């Protein structure tokens, strides 16, 4: 159990695709414990293994709002089975200290993963919930995708990144999400609690 250093935006490893976990070993279990220790220390919502320098397909999420309602969920080798709808999500990331911007997300996701005991589970999250958006955010980290790749306004994102002393959006990674953007504009959604 340890609080680990967060890999900051601009570090090349954040753009690497993570490797599957072949065995839930003691090392993997300790990695999960470190992810939770670090997540709680920094008061985040989710944290992926690449963010602490581990190139494995593992992330953790806890959308509980206080210690009495903590609900930690571990995802090992997750796969998104289904995604639908569109929503504006005002997001940040522990790898981007204090930088938040509007991004496009699916409103509903269905994900399959292994838990810490190696048992498979399926989880559905909808209605643009914090859980649905956090799953997408952390899943992206496993493929080297960052939340700013989904930004709705690149110039606003660049301004915010510059204010925080971070590199600008890399246009090579920007995602073409015209359908999502069109759906968001046709069905305006209220902004939700930021995802960290």
- In angstroms, rounded to a whole number, what is the distance separating the alpha carbons of residues 74 and 115? 6
Q: Are 143 and 18 in contact (CB under 8 A)?
A: yes
Q: Is 25 left (phi over 0), alpha (psi -120 to 50) or beta?
A: beta
Active-site annotation holds for 138: yes
Cβ-in-10-Å burial (0-12, 13-18, 19+) of 182 comes to: exposed
Separation between Cα atoms, residue 67 and residue 9, nearest integer Å: 29
Q: Which residues contact 21 (CB under 8 A, 6 or more apart)?
A: 28, 56, 57, 58, 76, 77, 114
Structure tokens given for 152:
């709705």
Query: Could you give the C-alpha distances from 59 to 39, 110, 166, in angstroms and in order?
Result: 10, 16, 24
**Which one of the listed residues 124, 138, 181, 182 is annotated catalytic?**
138
Beta-carbon neighbour count of residue 140 at 10 Å? 19
Catalytic residues: 138
């Amino acid at each position: 159990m340890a609080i680990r250093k967060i890999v900051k935006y601009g570090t090349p490893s954040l753009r690497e695709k993570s490797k599957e976990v072949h065995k839930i070993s003691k090392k993997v279990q300790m990695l999960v414990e470190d992810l939770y220790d670090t997540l709680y220390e920094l008061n985040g919502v989710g944290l992926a293994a690449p963010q602490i320098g581990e190139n494995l397909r593992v992330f953790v999420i806890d959308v509980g709002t206080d210690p009495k309602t903590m609900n930690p969920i571990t995802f090992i080798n997750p796969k998104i089975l289904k995604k639908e709808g569109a929503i504006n999500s005002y997001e940040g990331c522990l790898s981007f200290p204090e930088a938040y911007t509007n991004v496009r997300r699916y409103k509903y996701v269905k994900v399959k993963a292994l838990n810490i005991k190696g048992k498979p589970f399926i989880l559905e999250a909808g209605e643009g919930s914090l859980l649905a958006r956090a799953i997408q955010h952390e899943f992206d980290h496993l493929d080297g995708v960052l939340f700013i790749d989904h930004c709705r306004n690149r110039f606003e994102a660049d301004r915010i990144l510059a204010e925080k002393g971070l590199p600008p959006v890399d246009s090579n990674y920007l995602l073409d999400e015209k359908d999502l953007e069109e759906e968001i504009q046709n069905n305006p959604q209220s902004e939700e609690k930021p995802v960290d």
